[in-house]
Amino acid sequence: MSKIYSIICILLLGACSKPADLVIYCSLDQDLSEQIIRDFEEQHDIDINVQFDVERNKTVGLVSRIIAEAKNPQADVFWNNEIAHTIRLKSLGLTTPYAPATAEGIPAIFIDADNHYTGFAARARVIMYRTDIEVNYPKHLNDFLNSEYAENGVMAQPLTGTTLSNFAYLIQQSSTAEVVQWFDDVKSAGLGFSAGNADAMRRVCAGDYDWCFTDTDDAAKAVANGYAVDIHYLDQGIGKSGAMLIPNSICLIDGAQQNEMAKKFIDYVVSAESELRLANSTSAQIPLHRGITMPDGIQLPNRDYPVLDIPWAAVAAELDGAASTFQELFVR
C-alpha cells in the first residue's frame, strides 16, 4: 500500500509548476521552431511555455484556442506558420500593435500597416516533380485543366492550411462559382487529391504520381529524405505572372502589452539571423529580408522567379466562406 501512496505523491508533486515568464503559441512545425525558442529561453534565462499545433488531424488548433480564450488571454505571442489566420485574429481585436526593429528590410507588403503582425520566412506554392523520369508538369495553374498534366498529378484537398489560403485567394481574385467550376474541371481531367500537402508529396516519392502541387517545405523534406525530386515555382497569376508566397507571421496578443520579453522574442524571431536558421533547416524557408545571403538551393523571390502581391486582408476575409464551400465539395 505504501508503494501506491509513494506513486501518488510523486504524481502530485509533478503536477505542481510555477507560471512561465512567456507563453508562446506556435503553429510552425515543432521540430523547426522548438530549438529557436529554446535558444531564446537559454539566452535570457527565462521559463517559456510553448504550445504547438498539429495540422495532421485538421484540428481547429491554436487560432481557435486564442479566440476561445479571448476573455482571459493565456498567450503572449502567436507565431503562425501562415498569415491569413493572424489577420483574422487582428480583425477580431485579439492582437495588439508592435513594430519589431529587426523587421527592417522585410518588404512592406508582409508587414501590417497598423503593426499588428509581421511576416517573415516564407514558403512558396510549387510543383514538386520527379527527376528520375521524364515528367510533363504544369507551369501555370490553368495547365491543371489539361488531362495530359492532370492525370499524373495530385494536390491536397483545399480544406485546411496553405492550400485553403491558396484557393481562398483565387476566390477573392475571381469568384466562388468559378473556383468550384475549376475544381470540377480538374477532377474531370483526372487530377488526384490527397488529405494534405505532405501526403501529396509522399505519393510522388512513392511513385504513385509524377508531380504534386505543394509547399516548398514539403518538397525540401523530400529532397532531404533522399528522393529524386525538384521544384517549379507555379505561376498562379491572373493577368500578371507570379508564384504565391505564404510567410510565417508573428503577433503580440492583446493583453501582453506589458510583457517586454514577448517583444524581445518577436524581435528575435523576425531577425535576419532567425530567418537564416529557418532557411538552413530541413524546411528551407525563404528569407524575406532584403540583401540577405541566400543559402544554397534557395531561390530569391522577385529575382529568380516572379511573386504575386497577395491582398492578405481580403484573402483572410474569404477563409471561412471558402472552407465551407470546399467542405461541401470535397467531404462526401
Kindly list the residues in this chain that would bind another protein in the complex (CB under 8 A).
Answer: 7-8, 11-12, 14-17, 19, 23, 29-32, 34, 49-65, 67-69, 71-72, 74, 88, 132, 157, 159-160, 193-196, 198-199, 201-203, 205, 208, 218, 221-222, 225-228, 283, 320, 323-324, 327-328, 330-332
Set of cell numbers at residue 250: 508573428
Exposed/middle/buried for 133, CB within 10 Å: 0-12, 13-18, 19+? exposed
| Cβ closest to another protein, residue 2 vs residue 72 | 72
Smallest gap from Cβ 60 to another protein, in A, equals 5
Which C-beta is closer to another protein: that of 46 or that of 99?
46
CB of 304 to another protein, least distance (A): 23
Question: Closest distance between another protein and the C-beta of residue 208, in Å?
Answer: 8
Residue 115 CB-density burial (10 A; 0-12 exposed, 13-18 middle, 19+ buried):
middle
Nearer to another protein, 71 or 240 (CB): 71
Closest contact distance (angstroms) between CB of 302 and another protein is: 28
Nearer to another protein, 63 or 141 (CB): 63
Which three cell numbers, joined as nine digits, stand for 209?
Answer: 504520381
CB-nearer residue toward another protein: 105 or 203: 203
Least distance between another protein and beta carbon 139 (Å): 25
Tell me the C-alpha distance between 279 and 58, whole Å: 26
Q: Under DSSP, is residue 23 helix (H, G, I), strand (E, B) or coil?
A: strand
In the complex, minimum distance from the CB of residue 284 to another protein, in angstroms, rounded to a whole number: 13
Q: How many degrees, rounded to 5, is the angle at CA 325 between CA 320 and CA 326? A: 100
DSSP state of 324: H
Rounded to the nearest 10 degrees, the angle between the axes of helix 260-270 and helix 30-44 is: 130
Q: Cα(207)–Cα(203) distance, rounded to whole angstroms?
A: 6
Shorter beta-carbon distance to another protein: residue 103 or 150: 150
